[in-house]
Amino acid sequence: MPEKTTASEVSLGAETVKATAAKFSMAAIGFVGTIIFARMLGPQKFGAYYLLFALVKIADLPIEGWSMAAKKRFSEQGAQISEIVGGQFVFVFAWIALGTLVALLTGSYIVSYTGVAVAVPLFIALLGGEAVYVSAERLLQSRGLVGKATWIDALRSYVTFGLQLALVLAGWGVAGMAYGLAVASVVVAPLTLYFVGVRPEVPSRETLASQWEYARYSVLSALFGRVYERFDVLLLGYLLGPTAAGWYEVAYKLVTPAKFVAETASSGLMARVSNLSSRGKELNEDVTNVLSYASILSVPIFFGGLAISEPLVVTIYGLAYAKAAPLLIVIALYHVVMTQNMPLEQTIYGLDLPRRLSVISAGTVILNIVLGFALVPIVGAVGAALSSLVAETVSYLLLRYSLNQMANEIEFMSSTFLKQCLAGCMMVSLLYLVYGWNLQAGILSIAPALMVGAVIYFTILLTVSNEVRITVRSVITEIFIS
């Protein structure tokens, strides 16, 4: 039966661990899929698919913004949740219809930009699948059940991989990649709605007005955030072509696990902060705890990237992707900053301040665009990653300043985070002593280096941090109890 809970009634730590485990499950199949499809399609077609997908993720951001508003209102004390769910359906299907019309009118541009002859029907299919799935997933997160939501997302990943593999092997190429994801999204969405456990009702004018009051800013934040997130790929596709976009996407995929903890904890934190603040409860401790552990994976991935980026990329994707190695290092550092930003952004969302976040997001996007166009012609593809790193750092400073005005007891730079950085430094130093800087490409070299690095990092961290040891014991206990 569906679970009827509120976000403040679940254990954020336990849900984060469950969701992170699901993220790794997704990463495993995604990692295998990326290797297979990158090699089968080659950099040009592989990059073309991600250029198309980047356009879709720009087009569906009003869905993201409206869903964020629904998540906020759903998690509040005394919310009219049946009407909120009904409002989701109304908005989603209206936007899919509008997106389809716009795609048909601008089809020649989409085809020219991506280099895919059948880009228009692929765009429409991806937009429909993503819109339906994302709106359903946000509703389940509203209950604080990020673990269950992420495991359902993992199921979608496995279905997607199976469909994509079958279609690509059948000769569908980029179309197979797109249709595989679209169909999987539509198939899995009803399971997510089942666990939301709410029968939709026609929304009242008051409910829609309440959501719009929030959504008019959260849509802008989603717009700026999505443009910011996918700008590097879009810029590289525009200035350097699909091949450079393929290099960037490969590097980004290898670093993706860096954000798992931050992503899952932050999605639960937003609903939790919303629920607590609507009841006048204290939230500083929850925010500090999430910040302390948000970068626990991004830190070792960055330091590990310093040591083995090129042999790692060549081993997994082949020599055609060797130029992704410097991109990997910069993107990994970007993720360290980003994983500290995520909890701050979701806290501001939960405090019902989307307007403030939209202003910060707008400034960050403008800075990223200016720097990107300035740096890419000078230093090549790595310039796109550098521009995002600088913009993300500025965003962190602005978010921290904003929250410091409202909740000055939040510990932004905790000792736990600093100990993670110490463990990362010691890890890369020990890796250097063992392997030097001349590690050769090949699975027999890379696999042991990765395992040794992980063991060194977590051993040092558990040794130097009593807080981490206590948290690990506490979360394990909560998982088995729940």
Enumerate the domain spans of the chain: 7-481
Mean predicted confidence (pLDDT) in 249-261: 85
Give residue 280's pLDDT.
63
For the entire predicted model, the pTM comes to 0.70
Tens digits of per-residue pLDDT, 96-136? 999 999 999 988 888 888 888 888 999 999 999 988 888 88
pLDDT at 9 exceeding the cut of 50: no
pLDDT at 470 exceeding the cut of 90: no
- At residue 8 the predicted structure's pLDDT band, cuts being 50, 70 and 90, is very low
Q: For residues 143 and 176, which has the higher predicted lDDT (pLDDT)?
A: 176
- At residue 475 the predicted structure's pLDDT band, cuts being 50, 70 and 90, is low
Tens digits of per-residue pLDDT, 362-420? 888 899 899 999 998 998 889 989 999 999 999 999 998 888 877 667 788 888 899 99
Give residue 81's pLDDT.
77
* Residue 482 vs residues 25, 141, 145, 172: alpha-carbon distances, Å: 21, 18, 12, 45
Which of 231, 232, 228, 210 is CA-nearest to residue 354?
A: 210
Q: For residues 154 and 352, which has the higher predicted lDDT (pLDDT)?
A: 154
Give residue 320's pLDDT.
81
pLDDT at 6 exceeding the cut of 60: no
pLDDT at 52 exceeding the cut of 70: yes
Mean predicted confidence (pLDDT) in 24-46: 78
Tens digits of per-residue pLDDT, 290-344? 888 888 899 999 998 888 888 888 888 888 888 888 999 999 999 999 999 988 8
Give residue 1's pLDDT.
43
**Of 20-24, 148-152, 415-419, minimum mean pLDDT range:** 20-24
Most confident of 2-6, 116-120, 207-211: 116-120
pLDDT at 163 exceeding the cut of 90: yes
Mean predicted confidence (pLDDT) in 235-253: 82
- At residue 437 the predicted structure's pLDDT band, cuts being 50, 70 and 90, is low
Is residue 2 within 8 A of residue 195, CB to CB? The reply is yes
Q: For residues 397 and 247, which has the higher predicted lDDT (pLDDT)?
A: 397
What is the distance in angstroms between the CA of the first residue and the CA of the last residue of the chain? 16
d(CA 196, CA 37): 34
Give residue 370's pLDDT.
93
Would you state the torsion angle of the CA atoms of residues 305, 308, 313, 316, taken in this order, to the nearest 10 degrees?
A: -120
Tens digits of per-residue pLDDT, 164-191? 999 989 988 889 999 999 999 999 988 8
Q: Is 144 left (phi over 0), alpha (psi -120 to 50) or beta?
A: left
Which of 476, 438, 143, 177 is CA-nearest to residue 311?
A: 438
> What is the token pair recorded at 332?
């990994």
Is residue 184 within 8 A of residue 126, CB to CB? The reply is no
Mean predicted confidence (pLDDT) in 63-83: 74
Over the chain, what is the mean pLDDT? 81
pLDDT at 269 exceeding the cut of 60: yes
Give residue 7's pLDDT.
45
